[in-house]
Copies of this chain bind each other. A is one copy, B any other.
């Protein structure tokens, strides 16, 4: 047994540099965060930004899409823990996480990709949605369904439509809202308006 104790046989030769790998992914995310679309993203630009030879990229990923998928995958979406006490609080928590991400340098990657590349890169989008979008969507749906069950929300509420309203509002804000960051109480205000409705209370 000349094999490492871990059980995985280390192949001969110089091992791949983890530093280079990190630099490549960082460079990729940086470029995307700066508004570069996947189509305009060039391997040469990534290599240059990462201080790495193109060979080092091609050795690891066979296509640009694979690289982008892996890069985006490192952006774990740490879903905020939900208190689970009131639906209002949980909704605010979820929406505020979206707000915080839209201000985050890396969070914008997710937005930019989701907004721009949906049509043009369906395979990428599919994997990306499964990894980053679906978990949040599920969390939001669960909160809403819990609210319907508990009576905190209307029994006849169209949960899918409610999800569109909440998500769409936050997305709109992060795209066309004030350029210098969204106000801290935005999520709370959105939730309160949406819960109470825009119409005056029915006397």
**Residue ranges of A at the interface with B (Cβ–Cβ < 8 Å):** 35, 37, 39-40, 112, 115-116, 118-120, 147, 151-155, 157-158, 161-162, 164-165, 167-173, 175-177, 189-190, 193-202
User: How many copies make up the complex?
Assistant: 2
Interface pairs A-B: 9 shortest CB-CB: A197-B197, A168-B172, A168-B168, A35-B119, A116-B116, A168-B169, A195-B199, A165-B169, A196-B197
A164/B177 contact (C-beta < 8 A), A172-B171, A201-B202 known: yes
Asked if A193 and B162 make an inter-chain contact with CB atoms under 8 angstroms apart, the answer reads yes
Question: Could you list 21 examples of A-B contacts with CB < 8 Å?
Answer: A35-B119, A35-B120, A115-B116, A152-B200, A153-B198, A153-B199, A155-B200, A157-B193, A157-B198, A158-B193, A161-B190, A162-B193, A164-B172, A165-B168, A165-B169, A165-B190, A168-B169, A168-B170, A169-B169, A194-B198, A196-B197
CA distance A70 to B194 in the complex (A): 39
Asked if A189 and B119 make an inter-chain contact with CB atoms under 8 angstroms apart, the answer reads no
Q: Which residues of B contact A194 (CB under 8 A)?
A: 165, 194, 197-198
Asked if A196 and B195 make an inter-chain contact with CB atoms under 8 angstroms apart, the answer reads no
A199/B200 contact (C-beta < 8 A), A169-B164, A190-B165 known: no
A72 to chain B, nearest CB (A): 17
**A108 to chain B: closest residue by CB:** B119
CA distance A119 to B34 in the complex (A): 9
Q: Which residues of B contact A197 (CB under 8 A)?
A: 194-199
**A40 to chain B: closest residue by CB:** B39
